[in-house]
Amino acid sequence: MSIKNAVYLVSSPGFEKCPLPDKPEYAFIGRSNVGKSSLINMLCNIDKLAKTSGSPGKTQLINHFEITSSVDESEGKKKVNTFKWFLVDLPGYGFAKVSISSRRRWEQMIENYLRKRENLTMVFVLIDARHSPQKIDLEFLENLKKWQIPFSLVFTKSDKETQRVVSKNVKDFLAAMRKTWQFLPGHFVTSAVKKQGRDKLVAFIEEINEELAEKAAKK
């Protein structure tokens, strides 16, 4: 799948202000300073699509981007398939230096979006591969389980540590999940700097889009 175009649409203070839910929607979320904006830019192959910042908590709204992608004959397809879908950059959770009232407002905004956005297809939860399992990440995943929201894990910043350390941290995180999860979600190991994991992420989204298109065609 090739991403042909990525356009910023709107930043919304709540799910009710988001664009019409007429396309598959893929949301990205993670602890503050996990490298979310860099990953989104790497995924779309546009350096400044999502604004990066050295200050955790910079993203405070629900940011929508409209993506146009296609799969052509060179990728083994009989015809060109063009897909339009939403990519959503959600506020981070964690140690952002904001007031308690602001943090609670963000948390409620995120929960409402995740539980009520009807076209939400997949949530990509970003985990910093440099660190051992963090309680805040595991607790957030428990909420997604409780709310029955489909998600995948994206381990970021794999270039910032040795492969041995990254592999251990990923293994330990999945082991921590097994304590309370019967089935584990899919996961990806990425580096925005080296573009590691991009092809697998894009292919995963392509697969979901094709399945949705086939279901829609049968209706």
- Please state, in angstroms and as integers, the Cα–Cα distance from residue 178 to each residue in 44, 75, 146, 182, 183, following that order: 32, 36, 16, 7, 8
pLDDT along the chain (219 residues), means of 10: 89 94 96 91 85 55 92 60 93 70 82 96 98 96 96 97 97 97 96 95 94 86
Predicted pLDDT at 55: 46
Predicted pLDDT at 16: 94
Give the neighbor-by-neighbor strand order of the sheet with 81-89: 2-12, 62-71, 81-89, 25-30, 120-128, 151-156, 187-189
Whole-prediction pTM: 0.91
Predicted pLDDT at 215: 87
Structure token digits, residue 32: 């503050």
Handedness of CA 197, 178, 96, 131 (dihedral sign): negative
End-to-end CA distance of the chain: 25
Predicted pLDDT at 96: 58
In sequence order, the β-bridge partners of residue 83 are 69
Predicted pLDDT at 40: 94
Predicted pLDDT at 51: 66
The listed CATH number (3.40.50.300, 3.40.50.460, 2.60.120.1440, 3.40.50.360) that belongs to domain 2-209: 3.40.50.300
Residue located via tokens 């709540």: 14
Q: For the chain, where are the alpha helices, taking DSSP H only?
A: 36-44, 100-116, 135-147, 163-178, 198-218
* Cβ neighbours, 10 Å, residue 215: 9
Give SS3 for 84: strand
C-alpha gyration radius of the chain: 17
Give the start-to-end residue ranges of the domains of the chain.
Answer: 2-209
